[in-house]
Amino acid sequence: MIALKSSYLGVSKFINEHQGDSSVWFDMTFDERFEEIRTWKNKTVMDLSKELYEALGRVIPNEDDTSPPKDSDDKRKAGRPKRSSSSQPATKHHDEKRHVSGSKTEKPVADWNEEELLKLAEALGELLEGRRTRRYLFEEEKDRFYRRYEDLGGNNPVGVAISRARYLMDSYEFIYAYNERAEATNSLSWFELAPADRGAIAKKVSRLHRNFNGLGTVDAELFDAVDEVDAVLRQKLNETKRKTYKPPTDTASGSSRYSLVEIFQRLQQQRDAEKAKDEELMHQLFGRSERA
């Protein structure tokens, strides 16, 4: 039971640091979660499935939700004065702590204007190199990233900034992979697609992979800002093109994380074929009207 409680509280703390989004934890692979757990330096912690975590959440109170029991009149010793309101400051501090840690009802996205996102993009240089070989982040990388973000004038708290940085890197990598595939097949690149088409793809992708929830907010300027930072790394690492860590192929489905690019490539080809048919039909109708 001690191991289960330690595991639940550790995972719960990680999720709370990422605005209560449990997908940030459970969308990681087993190896990624294992590496994150190792950084906690608690040998009693073990990996939990989502079902077990939710079951434990119904019986184990979160540390932030626990409070000292109140004294009752019948249990108070004779002659002991009733506890005064001196506990109010502690309660106030407790409420402030809960507010800072964030909850599912908070919407930090409202703080991410274009200027803030560009600051975040510039600070990604502290994270993108490690991203070549793994998806998890070391604590020292998070610290360097957030110091850089603050130096640039960033105003969002560390947990929110790191969470948004993950989404931004995922979106950048998806668009980069999409553009590579489009170039190889002489098709439209991501930002050459009509906004409606990009929106439909972003909606579809975010449903299948929550990591791409921010895909629709990455415009050409923001993508170029991240790519400029990554280009410096490509030159430093002597890469001819961007290298992205890809999780192992899911043998059950026969697809990997970025196989969606090829799926949407086929959809784009189908749309191109339909457009060609429409143009041919219009040509036939136009030709008939001229002859008439």
Q: Report the residue count for the chain.
A: 292
Give the Å distances, CA to CA, from 42 to 8, 137, 174, 179. 12, 18, 35, 43
Dmax over Cα atoms in the chain, in whole Å? 110
Task: Kindly tell me if the per-residue pLDDT of 146 is higher than 90.
Answer: yes
Distance CA 120, CA 148 (A): 9
Tens digits of residue pLDDT in 21-65: 787 788 777 766 777 787 787 777 888 888 888 888 877 866 544
Task: Kindly tell me if the per-residue pLDDT of 214 is higher than 50.
Answer: yes
Confidence band for 222, pLDDT divided at 50, 70 and 90: very high
What percent of the chain clears pLDDT 90, i.e. is strictly above it?
12
Task: Kindly tell me if the per-residue pLDDT of 178 is higher than 90.
Answer: no
Tens digits of residue pLDDT in 64-85: 444 444 444 444 445 555 554 4
Task: Kindly tell me if the per-residue pLDDT of 205 is higher than 80.
Answer: no
Distance CA 227, CA 121 (A): 9
Tens digits of residue pLDDT in 190-199: 999 888 888 8
**pTM (two decimals):** 0.54
Contact, 170 vs 211, CB < 8 A?
yes
Tens digits of residue pLDDT in 96-122: 433 433 433 333 443 678 898 999 999
Give the residue among 149, 111, 106, 94 at the shortest CA–CA distance from 127.
149
Buried b or exposed e, range 171-209, using 16+ CB within 10 angstroms: bbbbbbbbbebbeeeebbebeebeeebbeebbebbbeeb
Please, what is the average pLDDT of the chain?
Answer: 73
